[in-house]
């Protein structure tokens, strides 16, 4: 886990300093070393420049420093992340008579791509973003892992006569710090997406002019910056549609994934909440690891949110060496500015990962396994129960005239979610009319179910950011809608929802937030349940084996909780989240209220100041169906923009 950066442009002092600013901005991602490489210039002085910050995990010697040059073939790379099948690659290269200069994964990856060409990126299993310069062809490869665990951001110079063509980095903030992007501003459509989802959706970012590579995407560029090739080398559209895997295949794939994720030359721990997902990871890790397994739990003073006792019981049953960190609201408030500053893009989530990662780092660990991904793989969310039922209901009532069906839905919604004053409850019952209009369109149903606000409330909250939104907006860029429809085409309802959960809730929210907040503590988080080969094995299960009983995750329980008393996990599902609802009405109230009632700030980020202020007052007054996530989303957006000095209009 590291930070990478690069510029294609004029090889000279100005771009070298810009590259150095980018790498310096990511010092938290790699406190163990840094480096800059500037390639030879072509006839007009153009070339490739690469920068890197290193967090040493595998091969702690200088032989693994980056930017890394293959001493025999001359290829150069920077890598962020881990290649989990690097030992397999090393063995295959050794069988061909190849010798490597480092025992780590970067050297194996570089020699493989150097010998087989850029398409060999498809053979990599892991979480990674990388750049590889091939001096023989004078071509540059950029690539991102199949499931989008590691980020890679990109910006192109709109000034065709300028001294650079494009730049890339592991963080949006690093690209902003480069100074190359003149008059940066917030992207209006991304602000609208943030207010709908609570996060932005790739390939857009919150900054106009900066984009994200797609998961499983590779791009190839010439030395002068011309794009030569772009393709998605892996998508979920390629997953099998007919179930052929068995429960034994899944159990073996899970064990193999956990074993590979344990590879480390530094101390490693496991985040343990006591739920099924993290407990399965800790249990399998204890079974396959030769070293003691350390587990960490974040507990809260508020007892209704405190999972400390549960996690202690699970840890005792597994046999981990357990560490419990208690977070009180005083500690949260004192470090709120630091925690919010850890987010690379605004999000209403992620701060739990920040506090956990800080505690793990203070305990002397640099790597932590986390259980994210189990709900998406095995149907743990309520969406797996509710959305197929809604789609089936719409199909059965297809003969009812639209007007009559919609009127009935509106009447039922008013009964289940009556108006509570200035704002209707922002709940799924209140969304029923909109969901009925969506019919059996699972993508539209999904986006409506997860929307923070009702569509009319969403529109009312947007000021300048609402200009230009197309009719029937569902919180997603149009190219994302097209890609997701292609990935769900021909799949069952349950399989489609699993794909949407993995691509959106997990891929665009949980993974991105965990990356930036854990790296703020210089901690590498690894996700054994977010593994390409495990996903391929699980996706090949018949639906009745993979998902049923819906929300039980019985397949994960049988594969990962062997030897543990099932009674440990027979309790209602609870998410791993901070008790914001308590804190917003207490110690955080003055800070959040000051931001949400700042008319100039709200207008500058593209929101309607009066509506936002009314929403805050309604929340304080206890308006029904107005949850903390709605408030925190707007606060996170405004505070991020204020921190970085950005608005929806260009700076003067």
Q: Which of 151-155, 298-302, 408-412 has the lowest mean pLDDT?
A: 408-412
In this predicted structure, what is the pLDDT of residue 164?
98
- CA dist 499 and 477 (Å) reads 17
Any alpha helices (H) in 501-551, and if so which ranges? 511-519, 532-539, 543-546
In this predicted structure, what is the pLDDT of residue 415?
66
For residue range 330-361, list pLDDT tens digits in order: 888 899 999 999 999 999 999 999 999 999 99
- CA dist 152 and 575 (Å) reads 28
For residue range 638-649, list pLDDT tens digits in order: 999 999 999 998
Contact status, residue 47 vs residue 41, Cβ threshold 8 Å: yes
- Per-residue b or e along 141-175, where b marks 16 or more CB atoms closer than 10 Å to that residue's CB: bbbbbbbbbbbbbbbbbeeeeebbbbbbbbbbbbb
Q: Which of 51-60, 423-432, 516-525, 572-581 has the lowest mean pLDDT?
A: 572-581
In this predicted structure, what is the pLDDT of residue 303?
57
For residue range 247-303, list pLDDT tens digits in order: 999 999 999 999 999 999 999 999 999 999 999 999 999 999 999 999 999 888 765
Q: Which two tokens stand for residue 541?
A: 């299960």
| 169 Cβ neighbours under 8 A, 6+ residues apart | 3, 4, 5, 6, 22, 26, 152, 153, 175, 178
Contact status, residue 1 vs residue 57, Cβ threshold 8 Å: yes
Q: Which residue has the higher pLDDT, 404 or 54?
A: 54
Residue 513: name the closest of 217, 148, 189, 258 by CA: 148
- CA dist 269 and 306 (Å) reads 21
Average pLDDT of the residues of the chain: 93
- CA dist 648 and 189 (Å) reads 10
In this predicted structure, what is the pLDDT of residue 448?
95
Any alpha helices (H) in 85-229, and if so which ranges? 86-95, 105-116, 172-177, 188-197
- The pTM is what? 0.95
Read off the pLDDT band of 427 (50, 70, 90): confident
- Per-residue b or e along 561-570, where b marks 16 or more CB atoms closer than 10 Å to that residue's CB: beebeeebbe
Query: What angle do helix axes 247-261 and 532-539 make, rounded to 10 degrees?
Result: 170
Q: Which residue has the higher pLDDT, 434 or 66?
A: 66
In this predicted structure, what is the pLDDT of residue 278?
97
Q: Which two tokens stand for residue 437?
A: 């209009």
In this predicted structure, what is the pLDDT of residue 475?
96
Q: Which two tokens stand for residue 56?
A: 């040493």
In this predicted structure, what is the pLDDT of residue 576?
61
- CA dist 272 and 275 (Å) reads 8
In this predicted structure, what is the pLDDT of residue 651?
53
In this predicted structure, what is the pLDDT of residue 191?
98
In this predicted structure, what is the pLDDT of residue 308?
86
Residue 422: pLDDT above 70? yes
For residue range 546-594, list pLDDT tens digits in order: 999 999 999 999 999 999 999 999 887 765 667 888 889 888 999 999 9
CA atoms within a 13 Å half-sphere pointing along the CA-CB vector of 171:
35
In this predicted structure, what is the pLDDT of residue 561?
98
Residue 8: pLDDT above 60? yes
In this predicted structure, what is the pLDDT of residue 304?
57
Contact status, residue 239 vs residue 491, Cβ threshold 8 Å: no
Share of the chain above pLDDT 70, in %: 95
In this predicted structure, what is the pLDDT of residue 416?
61
Read off the pLDDT band of 457 (50, 70, 90): very high
Read off the pLDDT band of 61 (50, 70, 90): very high
For residue range 183-215, list pLDDT tens digits in order: 999 999 999 999 999 999 999 999 999 999 999
CA dihedral 532, 535, 540, 543 (to 10 degrees): -160
């Amino acid at each position: 886990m590291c930070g990478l950066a690069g510029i294609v442009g004029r090889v000279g002092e100005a771009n070298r300093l810009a590259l150095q600013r980018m790498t310096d901005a990511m010092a938290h991602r790699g406190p163990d070393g840094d480096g800059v490489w500037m390639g030879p210039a072509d006839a007009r002085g153009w070339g490739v420049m690469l920068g890197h910050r290193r967090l040493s995990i595998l091969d702690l010697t200088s032989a693994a420093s980056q930017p890394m040059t293959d001493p025999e073939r001359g290829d150069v790379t920077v890598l962020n992340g881990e290649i989990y099948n690097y030992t397999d690659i090393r063995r295959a290269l050794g069988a061909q008579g190849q010798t490597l200069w480092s025992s780590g994964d970067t050297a194996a990856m570089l020699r493989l791509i150097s010998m087989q060409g850029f398409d060999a990126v498809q053979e990599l299993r892991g979480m990674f973003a990388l750049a590889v310069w091939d001096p023989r062809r004078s071509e540059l490869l950029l690539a991102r892992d199949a499931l989008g665990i590691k980020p890679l951001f990109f910006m192109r110079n709109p000034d065709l006569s300028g001294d650079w063509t494009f730049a890339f980095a592991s963080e949006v903030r690093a690209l902003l710090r480069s100074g190359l992007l003149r008059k940066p501003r917030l992207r209006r459509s991304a602000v609208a997406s943030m207010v709908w989802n609570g996060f932005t959706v790739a390939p857009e970012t919150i900054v106009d002019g900066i984009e994200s590579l797609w998961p499983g995407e590779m791009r190839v560029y010439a030395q002068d910056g011309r794009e030569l090739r772009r393709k998605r080398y892996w998508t979920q559209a390629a997953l099998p549609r007919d179930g052929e895997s068995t429960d034994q295949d899944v159990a073996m794939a899970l064990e193999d994934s956990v074993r590979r994720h344990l590879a480390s030359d530094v101390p490693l721990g496991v985040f343990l909440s006591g739920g099924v997902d993290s407990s399965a990871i800790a249990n399998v890790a204890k079974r396959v690891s030769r070293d003691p397994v350390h587990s960490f739990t974040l507990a809260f003073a508020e007892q209704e949110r405190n999972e400390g006792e549960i996690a202690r019981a699970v840890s005792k049953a597994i046999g981990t060496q357990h560490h419990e960190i208690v977070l009180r609201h005083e500690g949260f408030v004192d470090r709120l500015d630091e925690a919010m500053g850890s987010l690379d893009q605004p999000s209403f989530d992620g701060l739990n990962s920040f506090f956990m990662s800080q505690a793990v780092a203070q305990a002397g660990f640099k790597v932590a396994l986390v259980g994210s991904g189990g709900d998406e793989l095995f149907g743990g969310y309520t969406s797996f129960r509710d959305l197929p039922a809604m789609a089936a209901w719409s199909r059965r009532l297809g003969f009812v005239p639209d007007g009559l069906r919609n009127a009935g839905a509106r009447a039922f919604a008013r009964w289940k979610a009556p108006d509570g004053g200035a704002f209707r409850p922002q709940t799924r019952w209140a969304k029923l009319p909109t969901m009925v209009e969506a019919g059996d369109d699972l993508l539209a149903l999904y986006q409506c179910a997860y929307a923070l606000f009702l569509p009319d409330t969403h529109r009312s909250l947007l000021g300048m950011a609402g200009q230009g939104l197309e009719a029937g907006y569902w919180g997603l860029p149009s190219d994302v809608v097209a890609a997701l429809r292609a990935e769900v085409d021909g799949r069952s309802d349950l399989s489609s929802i699993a794909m949407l959960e993995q691509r959106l809730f997990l891929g665009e929210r949980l993974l991105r937030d965990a990356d930036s907040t854990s790296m703020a503590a210089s901690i590498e988080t690894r996700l054994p349940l977010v593994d390409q080969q495990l996903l391929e094995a699980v996706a090949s299960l018949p639906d009745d084996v993979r998902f049923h009983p819906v929300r039980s995750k019985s397949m994960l329980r049988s594969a990962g909780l062997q030897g543990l008393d099932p009674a440990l996990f027979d309790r209602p599902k609870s998410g791993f989240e901070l008790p914001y609802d308590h804190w917003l009405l207490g110690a955080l109230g003055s800070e959040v209220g000051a931001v949400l009632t700042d008319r100039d700030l709200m207008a500058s980020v593209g929101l309607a100041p009066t509506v936002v202020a009314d929403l805050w007052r309604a929340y304080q007054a206890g308006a029904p169906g107005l949850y903390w996530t709605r408030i925190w989303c707007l606060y996170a957006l405004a505070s991020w923009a204020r921190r970085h000095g950005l608005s929806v209009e260009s700076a003067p």
